[in-house]
Structure 1
Amino acid sequence: MSIRHGLLALLVAGPRYGSRLRADFEARTGGTWPLNIGQVYTTLGRLERDGMVAQDDVDAAGRTLYALTDAGRAELRAWYDHPVQRTGPPRDELAIKLVMALGTDGVDVREVVETQRRHVTRALHEHVRQRAEALAGVPEHPERMARLLVLEQLVFHAEAEVRWLDHCEARLLRFVHEEEEPPARKQPEV
């Protein structure tokens, strides 16, 4: 998720200080994407430099409040209006691990697949449990609905990874089977 755009979206509700933005971001995303406070202030600095936010005031505790500018509102509107681009394949550590394991002596790629499957299956069960808890209460508040949507995304991603691992395992078994079979001898022509 774009931290930049997430902070702009939170500022629509009014001026906020950095640690409040961090807390609101984590609450809105159901704690799925924790932010480092340094990320928040670095991003706010860049947004201010780019004219998207401006220092608005200081609260009673002496914290600097940041407000959305017209340029920030326009940037946020453009973000909402355009689809998220899925350009180029992402660098997925698991895919890299599997393709590297294929050419490495002493590594059983099927065991790498199985280890990952066990891990993602446990994560899937936890996401499903959390989703059931979220569904137990009526998600009438935007933060509850946001958490539910994030949990459902996690469930779907985990399910997709399990399916992909099943596919990898099947492909690897065919590959190993083909490697073990002796080449077919050419039959003499009659």
Structure 2
Amino acid sequence: MRNPNAVLGLCAMITLALVAGCEPGPPDDQTPGDVDGDTVAMPDANPAARVEGTGQLGVGADTTGAVATNQIQVATAGGPGPYLTNSAGSAVYFMEGDTDGSGCVDACTEAWPPVLVDQVAPTAGPELQGGMLATITRADGAVQVTYNQHPLYRYAADVGAGRTAGHGVEDQWGHWHLIGPGGDALEPVQQ
């Protein structure tokens, strides 16, 4: 006859394993705590993702075979022309004169959250030039995504995809622009 305590113990372990495997995680295109998609994940140990000596990331740098969900993409809805977005579809911007992320720190990052890298290398969407996608290390140690040497930011007032309220904004930190697939600022919309 079997030991009833051993059977109960085995059943408890199986139940715990099943429950642990069913815990919800973040959506595939977000890292934990990243509800707006403004953090792009990047591996610490994926040297193939980086073009040696340049800090640039190649197209399709994710070598896991997974669909690229941490991708800088191109959108047209709501903008004056094609513009860059993060993987969640939120418009990304750059600030004139900011080449190393030092132009937007402290309170600025609340209004203009930097597009940061975490665990999976960002990739360039099919309409983009992969050689223009790179990263920089900010003074606080965070790694920020750049395109054509422009550090990328989101605008906190943009709620959802297709929103481009930050385009042309001039505030206490600087002058902000949408960035087009060619790596340059888009022209402001004429009212």
Name the TM tier (shorter chain). under 0.3
The structure with more radius of gyration: 1
Q: Which has the higher contact order (CA 8 A, sep 6+)?
A: 2
Task: Report the structure, 1 or 2, having the larger strand content.
Answer: 2
**What is the TM-score with the length of structure 1 in the denominator?**
0.21
TM-score scaled by length of structure 2: 0.21
Higher helix share: 1
